[in-house]
Amino acid sequence: MVTAERYLLPEVARKVRRLDLRARFIIEGFWAGLHTSPYRGFSLEFSEHRKYVAGDDPKGLDWTAWAKTDRLYVKTFHAETNLEAYVVLDTSRSMAYAGPGGGMTKLEYGRALAAAFGYLLLHQRDAMGLGLVGSDLSLLVRPKTGRRHLTRVLGALARAEGEGPTALAPSLHALARRIKRRSLVLLISDLVDDREDVLHALRHLAFRGHDLVVFQVLDAAERHLDLDGPVVLEDPETGLRVRTDADHIRAAYTDRVAAVTAAYERGVRQMGGDFVAMTTQTPFDQALCHFLTERRRRF
């Protein structure tokens, strides 16, 4: 029997072909699993009330809530609690990679995660925008709320293909110039690009007042070199091939990947952002809880 929580596992979610259903099942699994997860302290229901404090306008008091709880609460208006968030997905050719295990490509995983963020933002009555980056900023959808807007966003995500060389830094600089209002920017990417250039572009976003959460998504084979013996490694963007022995280079390779990831995390945190390293085997709830942490921090 497949329980709702099982859809948090990428290998289970992948069996659902339609992106809208896949995302909805992921969110339903997230809700079902919160009470048994390490994140059970979270509440997905961000209240439309806050506690009364001296100086608040008495006209805003919710007397129904007082009758039920014997406590004073003030109704908050939509403008007080609304968040604008941009989900930014890397659609470059390197994101089309899947390791020998036959799981999700990085793009499939990123698409599912981005779509799940959409459902979660809709539930929170937040405004969601979408950016597709890679060789350039190929699409920018301004934040809105509502199911019709979410349908448009999901359609754009479903059509996104992993193609073209990575030019992540110029794409993010373009994004920073286009986003005028302070927003939460959720970047989903393998970050396979010049690290200093990408960090410089992220600093551009941070300098403009945006809050950043960066999700680095790699395949397990990329992170751990889960291959054996003689192999041919191919650059997915240039086609360059290198013959080597996986057993011989594994230690040096994994050390290098860990060092690059640590440098990204250090750089993002120094600019006040959050960094989450994941693989395409990481359950989706880990990323969703990082989003909730960042959202709660802002209010």
Q: Is residue 135 part of a domain?
A: yes
Kindly state whether residues 181 and 261 are assigned to the same domain.
yes
Kindly state whether residues 174 and 186 are assigned to the same domain.
yes
Tokens of 277: 């390293």
Tally of domains in the chain: 2
Provide the pLDDT for residue 261. Answer: 96
Provide the pLDDT for residue 49. Answer: 55
Tokens of 103: 């799981």
Kindly state whether residues 70 and 179 are assigned to the same domain.
no
Kindly state whether residues 166 and 118 are assigned to the same domain.
yes
- In angstroms, the CA 170 to CA 149 distance is 27
Q: Is residue 86 part of a domain?
A: yes
The CB density around residue 83, as the number of other CB atoms within 10 Å, is: 19
Listed residues 78, 95, 130: the one ending a domain: 78
Provide the pLDDT for residue 44. Answer: 46
Question: pLDDT (tens digit, 0 to 9) for every residue of the chain, 299 residues total?
Answer: 557 788 889 999 998 989 999 999 998 888 887 655 544 444 444 445 556 566 666 666 666 655 656 666 666 544 445 689 999 999 999 999 998 877 899 999 999 999 999 998 888 788 999 999 988 999 999 999 999 999 999 999 999 988 878 889 999 999 999 999 999 999 999 999 999 999 999 999 999 999 999 999 999 889 988 888 888 888 777 778 889 888 899 999 999 999 999 999 999 999 999 999 999 999 999 888 877 776 666 55
Buried b / exposed e over 112-143, threshold 16 CB at 10 Å, is bbbbbbbbbbbebebbbbbbbbbbebeebbeb
Residue 262 region, left (φ>0) first, then alpha (ψ -120 to 50), else beta?
Answer: alpha
Q: Alpha carbon of 190 to those of 26, 95, 120: distances in Å?
A: 21, 7, 23
Kindly state whether residues 165 and 73 are assigned to the same domain.
no
Kindly state whether residues 187 and 62 are assigned to the same domain.
no
Q: Which domain covers residue 273, as residue numbers?
A: 4-36+82-298
- In angstroms, the CA 195 to CA 182 distance is 25
Provide the pLDDT for residue 78. Answer: 42
Q: Is residue 169 part of a domain?
A: yes
Provide the pLDDT for residue 99. Answer: 85
Kindly state whether residues 58 and 190 are assigned to the same domain.
no
Q: Is residue 42 part of a domain?
A: no
Q: Which of 229, 221, 233, 169 is nearest to 195 (CA)?
A: 169
Kindly state whether residues 131 and 62 are assigned to the same domain.
no
- In angstroms, the CA 236 to CA 283 distance is 25
Buried b / exposed e over 18-39, threshold 16 CB at 10 Å, is ebbebbbbbbebbebbbeebeb
What angle in degrees, to the nearest 10, is found between the helix axes of 195-207 and 246-270?
20
Kindly state whether residues 254 and 145 are assigned to the same domain.
yes
Provide the pLDDT for residue 43. Answer: 46
CB 83 within 8 Å of CB 298: yes
Write the DSSP string, 183-233.
-EEEEEE---S-HHHHHHHHHHHHHTT-EEEEEEEE-HHHHH----SEEEE
Q: Which of 109, 114, 115 is nearest to 222 (CA)?
A: 109
Q: Is residue 43 part of a domain?
A: no
CB 76 within 8 Å of CB 288: no
- In angstroms, the CA 96 to CA 234 distance is 13
Kindly state whether residues 86 and 67 are assigned to the same domain.
no
Kindly state whether residues 191 and 103 are assigned to the same domain.
yes
Q: Is residue 191 part of a domain?
A: yes
